[in-house]
Structure 1
Amino acid sequence: MNSTKQFSKMFSAQVKMMFREKQVWFWNIFFPIILMVLFMVIFGGGSPDSFKATIAVVDSQPNANSSMLLEQLRQIPVFEFKEEQPITKEAGNTLIEKQDIDALIILPESDSSTTMQLVVNKANEQGATTQAIAGILDQFIQQTNWTVAKATPTFSLTRQSISQGSEDLNYADFLLTGMIGLTLAQGGLFGMVSLVEMRRKGLMKRLRMTPAKMGLYGLAGVIVKLLLGVFQIIILTLIGVFGFGANLHINVLSLVIAFFAGALVFNAMGYLFSSFSKSIEAYMGISNITSMLMMFLSGVFIPLEIMPNWLQPIAQILPLTYFVEGMRDGLIYNSGIVSTSFWIGIGIMVTWGVVSFLIGSQVYKSKSAVEAA
C-alpha cells in the first residue's frame, strides 16, 4: 500500500475514532460553547456607559445643605434610587447588609455640618462598583465645593480611549478572542487521551509491528485536530458576533500563522503529557492543572498589565499568553505580521512546542525499548 492510500485510510480512521467518542463532542464542541457563553455573560455584559449603581439616601434632619445635595444627587444618571424618598439609617443599614443596594449615602444633619457619609457592605468594600461610586462621589463633592465657593476651576480633564485595533473594539471582542485561544489550547492539551488508551491496551505496540508508518499516523491525527480547531473558531466566532455583538477585523496571514503555531505547540504538550501518563485519569489531571493555571495567568480574561507585578513574569513565559495575543492580532487588532512582538510570541510558542515534542518522543522511545525487552 503506497503512502498516499495509507495516509487517507489513517485519516479516515482518526476522524471516525474522534467523533465516535461522545466525550469528544462534549469537550471539544459543546463545552467550549458553554464556557464561552458563560464567561461572556459574566465578564462581557455591558460597557462602562451602561454602568448603574443602586443607592439609598438618609436625610434624618432635612436642612438647606442636605436638600441641595439630595437634589444634585438625583441629577447623577448612573445612580438609581432604591426608594424615591430618603429612608432611615436603620432601614438603610438593613438594605446594605442584605446587599439590596450598592451604597447608602448619609446627608449632613445640619446647616453647619459639611460631611457626607458613604456606607457599603464590607464584602463589597474593594469591589469595582464600590470604587466607582466612591470616585463619583469624590468628583461630585469637588464640583459642589466649586459651586458653593462660586469659583471656576482653572484646569479640566478630557478623556479619550484608543485601541491597538479599530475604534469600535470593546471588552467583548477582547474576551471572545481570549476564549477562542483558550478553547484551541485545551483541544491540544486534552486531545492526546487516545494515545494513553491505545498504549494501555497494547494497541501502540501492535501498530508498530504492522507495515503502517507511525509518522503518517501521527500526521493524520494532527490534521484532524487542526480541522477541528478551524471548526471551533468558526462556531465560537459566530456566537460571539451574533450573540454578543463582537467586532472582528481579521488579518488572515497573522491569524493563520498564530493558529498553526498554537495548535502545534499545544498538541506537542498534550503528546508530552501522554508519554508519561499511565492512565487516562493521570493524563486528564495533568492537562487540567496546566489548563487552569494558564487560563488565569495568560490574559484570557484580563490584560496582563493589571495583574500583580510578581505574576507578570510568569505570564510572560507561558505559551497561552502569546497564542491568545496572536489570535487577537489575527481577529481584532489587525496589526499584521510586521510587529516584532508578534514574532517574539511565535518564537516562544515554537520553543515550547519543540521542547515538548522532543521530550515526549524520548519518553516514548525509552518505553518502547522497555516493552520490546
Structure 2
Amino acid sequence: MSSAKQFSKMFAAQMKMMFREKQVWFWNIFFPIILMVLFMIIFGGGSSDSFKAKIAIVDSQPNAASAMLLEQLRQIPVLEFAEEQPVTKEAGNELVENQDIAALIILPESDSSTTIQLIVNKANEQGATTQVVAGILDQLIQQTNWTVANATPMYSLTRTAISSGADDLSYADFLLTGMIGLSVAQGGLFGMVGLVEMRRNGLMKRLRMTPAKMGLYGLSGMLVKLILGIFQIIILTLIGVFGFGANLHINVLTLVIAFIAGGLVFNAMGYLFSSFSKTIEAYMGYANIASMLMMFLSGVFFPLETLPSWLQPVTQMLPLTYFVEGMRDGLIYNAGAASSTFWIGIGIMVLWGVVSFLVGSQVYKTKAASDVQ
C-alpha cells in the first residue's frame, strides 16, 4: 500500500475515533470554552466605566478641612460609600478587617492637621483596587495643596491610548486572542493521550506488527487535531464577539499561516510527549508542565514587557509566544504576512515542531525495535 493511501486510511480512521470519543469533545471544545469564559470574566470582564471601590469615611471631629475633603470625595464617581454618613474608626476597622470595604479613609481631625490616613486590609494591600484608591487620594491631596497655596499648576497630564490596530481595540480583544491561542495549544499538547492509551492496551504493539508507518500515523493524528482546532477558533471567537463584545479585524492569510504553523507545532509536541510516556499520568504531567510554563510566560494574559527583564530571553524561546502574536496579527491587528518579525516567529515555531516530530518518531521506532527483539 502506498504511503498516500495509508495516510488517507489512517486519517479517516482517526476522524471516526475523534467523533466517537466524548472526552475529546469535552477537553478540546467544552473545557477551553469554560476556561476562556472564566478568564475573560476575571481579567477582561470589567471596564473603567463599571469599576467601583467601596470605601468608608471617618470624620471624628468635623471641621472646615474635613468638610471640604469629604465633599470632594463624594464627587469622585468610582468611589462608592458603604455608609452615607461617616463611621467611627472602630466600626471602619471592622469593615476593613471583614473585607466589606476596600479602604477606610480617616479625614483630618482639625483645620491645622495635615494628614489623611488610608487603612486597607493586608490581604489586599497590593491589589488593584487599593492602588486605585491610593492614587485618587494622592491626586486629591496634590490638588488641595495647590488650592491652599493659592497657586496655579503649570503643567497638566492628558492620556491617550493608541494601538497598531484599529481604534476600537480593547484589552478584551487582546485577552480573547491570547485565550484562543492557549486553547489551540492545549488541544495539541493534551490531544495525543489516545496514543498512550493504545500502548497501555497493547494496540500500539499490534499496529507496529503491521506494515503501517508510525510517522504517518502520528502525522494523520496531528491533522485531525488541526481540524479540531478550526472548530475551537470559530466557537471561541463567536463567544468572544457576542458574549464579551470583542472587536475583530481579520487578515485571513496571516491567520491561516499562524494557525497551521501553531497547530502542527503543539500537536507535534503532544506526539513527542506520548512517545516516551508509559502511562496516561506521565503524559498529563509532561503536558501540564509545558502548558503551565507557557501560559504565564507567553503573553496570553498581559504584555511580555511587564515580565522581569531576566525572564525576557525565556519568553523569546517559547513557541506559544509567537503563536499568540501570530493569532493577534491575524485576528485583531489585521497585520500582513510580509513582516520579517512574523516570519521569524513562524520559523521558530516550525523548528519546535520539526524537532518534536522527528524525536517522537525516532522514539516510537526505537520502541518498536525493542518490542521485536
Which bin holds the TM-score, normalised by the shorter protein? over 0.9
Q: Name the residue aligned to 1:160.
A: 160
The one-letter code sitting in structure 1 at the alignment partner of 2:298 is: S
Equivalent position SS for 1:80: strand
User: How far did 1:62 drift?
Assistant: 0.6
User: How far did 1:6 drift?
Assistant: 4.6
* 1:92-111 aligned within 5 A: 92-111=92-111
User: How far did 1:7 drift?
Assistant: 4.3
Q: Does 1:362 align with 2:362?
A: yes
Q: Name the residue aligned to 1:262.
A: 262
Cα distance in 2 for partners of 1:36, 1:328 equals: 16
8 Å Cα contact 2:181/2:323 also seen in 1: yes
Equivalent position SS for 1:172: helix
TM-score calculated relative to the size of structure 2: 0.96
Cα distance in 2 for partners of 1:208, 1:362 equals: 14
- After superposition, the C-alpha distances for 1:52-94 in whole angstroms (9 at most, x for unaligned) are 2111111100111111111111111111111111111111101
- After superposition, the C-alpha distances for 1:160-212 in whole angstroms (9 at most, x for unaligned) are 10012111111111111111111111111111112222223332333243344
- Over aligned residue pairs, what C-alpha RMSD do you find? 1.6
- After superposition, the C-alpha distances for 1:343-365 in whole angstroms (9 at most, x for unaligned) are 12111111111111121122112
User: How far did 1:148 drift?
Assistant: 1.9
Q: Name the residue aligned to 2:304.
A: 304
Q: Name the residue aligned to 1:19.
A: 19
Cα distance in 1 for partners of 2:198, 2:360 equals: 16
Q: Name the residue aligned to 1:328.
A: 328
Q: Name the residue aligned to 1:32.
A: 32
Q: Name the residue aligned to 1:63.
A: 63
Cα distance in 1 for partners of 2:213, 2:361 equals: 16
Percent identity of paired positions between Structure 1 and Structure 2: 82
8 Å Cα contact 2:218/2:271 also seen in 1: no
Q: Name the residue aligned to 2:197.
A: 197
User: How far did 1:228 drift?
Assistant: 0.5
User: How far did 1:246 drift?
Assistant: 0.7
Q: Name the residue aligned to 2:187.
A: 187
User: How far did 1:213 drift?
Assistant: 5.0
User: How far did 1:340 drift?
Assistant: 2.3
* 1:178-257 aligned within 5 A: 178-214=178-214, 216-257=216-257
Structure 1 residue runs without a partner (length 5+): none
The one-letter code sitting in structure 2 at the alignment partner of 1:303 is: P
- After superposition, the C-alpha distances for 1:2-32 in whole angstroms (9 at most, x for unaligned) are 6666544433311121222221111011101
Q: Name the residue aligned to 2:53.
A: 53
Equivalent position SS for 2:69: helix
The one-letter code sitting in structure 2 at the alignment partner of 1:369 is: A
Q: Which aligned segments of 4 or more residues in structure 1 are displaced greater than 4 angstroms?
A: 1-8, 211-216
Answer with 239-248 or 356-365: which moved more: 356-365
TM-score calculated relative to the size of structure 1: 0.96
Cα distance in 2 for partners of 1:342, 1:62 equals: 62
Cα distance in 2 for partners of 1:315, 1:290 equals: 13
Equivalent position SS for 2:70: helix
8 Å Cα contact 2:251/2:336 also seen in 1: yes
8 Å Cα contact 2:208/2:368 also seen in 1: no
Equivalent position SS for 1:342: helix
Cα distance in 2 for partners of 1:369, 1:213 equals: 13
Equivalent position SS for 2:183: helix
Cα distance in 2 for partners of 1:214, 1:357 equals: 11
Cα distance in 1 for partners of 2:80, 2:206 equals: 70
Q: Name the residue aligned to 1:173.
A: 173
The one-letter code sitting in structure 1 at the alignment partner of 2:149 is: A
Q: Does 1:290 align with 2:300?
A: no
Q: Name the residue aligned to 2:41.
A: 41
Cα distance in 2 for partners of 1:338, 1:11 equals: 33
User: How far did 1:328 drift?
Assistant: 0.8
8 Å Cα contact 2:223/2:264 also seen in 1: no
The one-letter code sitting in structure 1 at the alignment partner of 2:75 is: Q
- Note closer, same or farther for the CA distance 1:309–1:213 as it changes in structure 2 (3 Å cut): closer
Equivalent position SS for 1:49: coil
Equivalent position SS for 2:37: helix
The one-letter code sitting in structure 2 at the alignment partner of 1:232 is: Q
Cα distance in 2 for partners of 1:8, 1:353 equals: 22
The one-letter code sitting in structure 2 at the alignment partner of 1:347 is: G
Cα distance in 1 for partners of 2:208, 2:103 equals: 69
Equivalent position SS for 1:310: helix
Q: Name the residue aligned to 2:372.
A: 372
- Note closer, same or farther for the CA distance 1:368–1:6 as it changes in structure 2 (3 Å cut): closer
Q: Name the residue aligned to 1:121.
A: 121
